[in-house]
Amino acid sequence: MKKLVFFGAGSMAEALMSGIIENGLLKGSQIWVTNRNNQKKLKQLEQTYGINGSYDYNELFADADAVILAMKPKDAAGAINEFKSFLRDDILLISVLAGVSLETMEQAAEKPLAIIRAMPNTSAAVSRSATAIAGNQRVTEAQKRIAQKLFDTVGFTAFVQEEQLDAVTGLSGSGPAYIYYLVEAMEKSAVEIGLEQKLAKDLIVQTLIGAAAMMATSEKTPEELRLQVTSPGGTTEAGIAILEKHGVQEAFISCIKEAANHSRKMGEALSSELGSGKQPIKLSE
């Protein structure tokens, strides 16, 4: 791949471009980025990563191999409508948008296109994304390899059926936020039980890295690993009894199901909005 274009310059686009550049897959000069109207943000990305910011569609699409859609889902149909006349047949469209189906994007483009739908997460910024991808019939083997290489560069990639992507979104797309939420609670409690904030953060981060490494390398299930920590009559047992009392595991299960369901509902709403011919709502920054 020689030229990659990002439509959207928010958290997810920045996580991907920084991981791609950091790992040497592409140079900053091979990456082009546009957003709705935040010139300051484009300047900042240019300075940080040496990428090219532009609002000129001729310039953005010229010789582009792939275009990554990274705006909010509700801005997608409007964006595709704006740039569809610039899309050549041989450009690969890669969407990271939650919920928006391949069919909705094909309808918005109003022409046959090779489209890959991906669900990465923001850990792409540190080359640790968990990404699942699905493509439409027009995606060639060469384009599949381009997408796989791109997401392998920033972490782990799995090919899935498109129907599974809402579940992936609820699980690992949103997943980092659940972990940060948990860590917020760990940090608050650490301070309340007398630990200094910096020390608490170091201990928590190393605990997460260690637990993740155990799960990645051990044959044991998470439950078996948990039981190894839980001495009968000990501290862990006392702590987990409180989590059980508050239904924390059930809460996490409901959380992930709700996020997956929300992804599906967002997709359905956008698809029927497009079908009704209603102009999609546009956000401005």
Ligand X SMILES: NC(=O)C1=CN([C@@H]2O[C@H](COP(=O)(O)OP(=O)(O)OC[C@H]3O[C@@H](n4cnc5c(N)ncnc54)[C@H](O)[C@@H]3O)[C@@H](O)[C@H]2O)C=CC1
Q: What residue numbers does the annotated binding site cover?
A: 70-73
Query: Which residues lie closer than 8 Å to 283 by C-beta, 6 or more apart?
Result: 36, 72, 74, 75
Residues composing the chain: 285
Task: Decide if 123 contacts 155 (C-beta within 8 A).
Answer: yes
Q: Does 166 bind ligand X (CB under 6 A)?
A: no
Q: Considering only residues 84 through 123, tell me which ones interact with ligand A1CAB, judged by CB under 6 A.
A: 98
**133 contacts which partner out of ligand X, ligand A1CAB, none, CB within 5 to 8 A by kind?**
none
Report the residue from 44, 65, 78, 128 that binds ligand X according to the rule CB under 6 A: 78
Q: Considering only residues 3 through 22, tell me which ones interact with ligand X, judged by CB under 6 A.
A: 7-13
Q: Which is nearer to ligand X, 4 or 12 (CB)?
A: 12
Report the residue from 53, 135, 155, 173 that binds ligand A1CAB according to the rule CB under 6 A: 173
Q: Considering only residues 104 through 133, tell me which ones interact with ligand X, judged by CB under 6 A.
A: 119-122
Q: Which is nearer to ligand X, 28 or 280 (CB)?
A: 280
Give me the DSSP letters along the chain: ---EEEE--SHHHHHHHHHHHHTTSS-GGGEEEE-SS-HHHHHHHHHHH--EE---HHHHHTT-SEEEE-S-HHHHHHHHHHHGGG--TTPEEEE--SS--HHHHHHHHTS--EEEEEE--GGGGGT-EEEEEEE-TT--HHHHHHHHHHHHHTEEEEE--GGGHHHHIIIIISHHHHHHHHHHHHHHHHHHTT--HHHHHHHHHHHHHHHHHHHHH-SS-HHHHHHHH--TTSHHHHHHHHHHHTTHHHHHHHHHHHHHHHHHHHHHHHHHHHHTTPPPP----
Binding residues for NADP(+): 70-73
Size of the site for ligand X (CB under 6 A): 29
- Nearest approach, Cβ of residue 227 and ligand X (Å): 32
Size of the site for ligand A1CAB (CB under 6 A): 4
Q: Please tell me the distance from the alpha carbon of residue 75 to that of residue 36, in angstroms, as a whole number.
A: 10
Task: Decide if 271 contacts 104 (C-beta within 8 A).
Answer: yes
Report the residue from 18, 153, 174, 271 that binds ligand A1CAB according to the rule CB under 6 A: 174
Could you give the angle at the alpha carbon of 96 between the alpha carbons of 92 and 97, nearest 5°?
120
Report the residue from 19, 73, 155, 170 that binds ligand X according to the rule CB under 6 A: 73
Q: Considering only residues 216 through 255, tell me which ones interact with ligand A1CAB, judged by CB under 6 A.
A: none
**104 contacts which partner out of ligand X, ligand A1CAB, none, CB within 5 to 8 A by kind?**
none
Q: Which stretch binds ligand A1CAB (CB under 6 A): 38-46, 166-174, 184-192, 272-280?
A: 166-174
Q: Which stretch binds ligand X (CB under 6 A): 18-26, 65-73, 189-197, 208-216?
A: 65-73
Q: Which stretch binds ligand A1CAB (CB under 6 A): 84-92, 147-155, 167-175, 221-229?
A: 167-175
Q: Does 79 bind ligand X (CB under 6 A)?
A: yes
- Residues in contact with ligand A1CAB by the rule CB under 6 A: 98, 169, 173-174
Binding site for ligand X (CB under 6 A): 7-13, 34-36, 38, 70-73, 75, 78-79, 82, 96-98, 119-122, 173, 283, 285
